[in-house]
A and B are shown apart, each in its own frame.
Chain A
């Protein structure tokens, strides 16, 4: 086998990541029931957990940890573009009256 394609060698890590993802899903459900800090806190916690889960999948399952810098740049461009879209909407969200 060509050693150029051996990126998924550690099955122990893959299993650990899977169990972490399941635990984080449980944490998301639990966080949605929280009453402390208001609902905005719940939104923030739920999205932070989602970002953590996405990072696990990207880093370990999609192989970003072994990827060339260009792949990180591509993903970074996507993240920044979505952030710009969201920030661009903030004035409208702040001042809009439906």
Chain B
């Protein structure tokens, strides 16, 4: 991408156009997650076996799982903060600072995935997965677990995609003009923050109520 900015007669720069394109993409993601979350809320509100407003997880193993989810929330919030700092450094032309903060962001995202895998292992060890004997004995729990894995895996895939995007920007940050790097980082950051926002809604809906 060329570092030179072009601006149209009505005041739209390439950056504005790029951001609008990304907002349109985020709109499609809002509709994707929104549809699943509405279906999830509808199922739990209409089903007395796993009604919304009653903690769906059985007591056994709930606290360790909740602790891991809370840790993951902190990890993602921190990664959003370091992402903002990375963009700020790129805008100031501080290449080393930009790379350090972006690497920190990616490390926190990777840590999120590791904790998530540990949490899955914990859930499976307690028999909390669709098709287990426990789930077969409790249809409400089985429905809940299906949504839990669907939503968290879908979100995890978005984290992976965002990490790949960040890696591309990090690579560009080795030698590309910092103005170009800043623009690329800003676009990647927009998506990273959106993935964080999705988790902010998943956390209470899947773990606390």
Contact = CB atoms under 8 A, between A and B. Distances in A.
A50 B20 CA distance: 25
Interface of A: 1-2, 4-9, 11, 14-15, 17-18, 21-22, 25, 28-29, 32, 38-40, 42-43, 46-47, 49-50, 53-54, 57-58, 61-63, 67-68, 70-71, 74-75, 77-79, 81-82, 85-86, 89, 92-93, 96, 98
**What is the interface of chain A mostly: helix, strand, loop, or mixed?**
helix
Interface of B: 5, 13, 15-16, 19-20, 23-24, 26-27, 30-31, 34-35, 37-39, 41-42, 45-49, 52-54, 70, 73-74, 77-78, 80-81, 83-85, 87-88, 91-93, 178-179, 182-183, 186, 189-190, 193-194, 196-197, 200-201, 203-205, 208-209
A54 B151 CA distance: 18
Given A5-B186, A32-B208, A63-B186, 9 more contacts: A18-B78, A25-B70, A25-B77, A28-B208, A46-B209, A81-B31, A82-B30, A93-B45, A98-B48
A82 B36 CA distance: 10
**What is the interface of chain B mostly: helix, strand, loop, or mixed?**
helix
A85 B182 CA distance: 37
A8 B91 contact: yes
Counting chain B CB atoms within 10 Å of each CB, which of A15, A58, A62, A86 scores highest? A62
A26 B88 CA distance: 27
B197 A40 contact: no
A71 B74 contact: no
A5 B179 contact: yes
Contacts of A32: 204, 208-209
